[in-house]
Amino acid sequence: MAPHRSNMKIVADLLTATEQSGMEGIKTTMLLSKANVPHSRLSKFVDNLTGAGLINRIEFDGRNAFVITPKGRQYLESYKNFSSVAESFGLEL
């Protein structure tokens, strides 16, 4: 059985997938797949991330796509650094 991911790890996975998609953004279906988040939970995370200014929602041909913001990149970089420090102490986030 796969280990349970914390909300922080899921946020990092969502931001990573969004960042990797570039300036054209990532569509909902691809975001679900790349971040491995069930559709039932995605909208809550997306609402939190857009509300915090970490990603922007853009509508294109009636479909949503998401792009990471500079603030989102900064958060992701800080998360990676903190995660690395935590791991050096034998902790998992």
Q: Which of 51, 42, 40, 44 is nearest to 17 (CA)?
A: 42
Reply yes or no on whether the pLDDT at 71 is more than 90: yes
Average pLDDT, the chain: 93
Tokens 């691809």: give the residue: 30
Q: What global pTM score does this model have? A: 0.91
**pLDDT mean over 57-83:** 94
How many Å apart are CA 89 and CA 85, to the nearest integer?
Answer: 7
Which band of pLDDT confidence, cut at 50, 70 and 90, is reported for residue 62? Answer: confident
CA torsion, ordered 23, 25, 30, 32, to nearest 10 deg: 120
Length reported for the chain: 93
Confidence band for 2, pLDDT divided at 50, 70 and 90: low
Instruction: In whole angstroms, give the CA distance from residue 71 to residue 91.
Output: 26
Domain 7-87 belongs to what architecture?
A: Orthogonal Bundle (1.10)
